[in-house]
Amino acid sequence: MIKVKRSFLERLTGSSNIDENQEFETPIRPLAKIYEEEEESEEMLINSSTRRTMPEESPASSEDGEGQLTIDVYQTDNDIVIKSTIAGVKPEDLDVTINSDMVSIRGERKNEEMVSEENYYYQECYWGSFSRSVILPIDVLADKAEASMKNGILTIRLPKADNTKTKKIQVRGF
């Protein structure tokens, strides 16, 4: 048996150069058959992982049965901005609190239609109370914070506290 040096790509991908006259030990499966098998295994994975029957199985729920919001937190020149998708919740049903170094968002998404478990094909949406607390990376002016909701996206703007400015005070003598 002659040993042939493999190319970098062959070593990287684990592939090998095949001679047209070389016989295979394992039969080659048609590409359509491979795709069918992949689709079947994906479908089995989807069916087993997406059907949720108990709230504990939901990755969005915490130990106390409350869902946890997904958020984006970023900064602009003047603000810290927090965005979260909160579809299906009225703005008046949200509770946003800001203390010295933390923002908390609480609310409840109510399912208006009662559907029995056996009638679900997929049950991925989270219904019930949810919350999320975020520790702020810098000091903010809590009294000037603004929250708005548009198209199911909650946006909270927290103006940065300008700690870089120094204030010079005059010392008076008595």
Which residue has tokens 């929250």? Answer: 147
Q: Which two tokens stand for residue 15?
A: 């592939």
The residue to which tokens 């609480």 are assigned: 106
Tokens for 123, please give them: 């049950």
Q: What's the rounded mean pLDDT across residues 31-41?
A: 58
DSSP per-residue string spanning 86-99: -TT--GGG-EEEE-
Please, are residues 106 and 34 in contact by the beta-carbon 8 Å criterion?
no
Closest residue by Cα to residue 84 from 69, 102, 97 = 69
The pLDDT assigned to 53 comes to 39
Residue spans of the domains in the chain: they are 57-112+122-159
Stated pTM of the model: 0.56
85 vs 14, more confident: 85
Q: Which two three-digit tokens encode residue 47?
A: 């069916």
What is the Cα–Cα distance from 164 to 56, expressed in whole angstroms? 46
Looking at residue 52, what is its pLDDT? 41
Residue 49 has pLDDT above 50, yes or no: no
CATH code assigned to 57-112+122-159: 2.60.40.790
pLDDT value of residue 132: 92
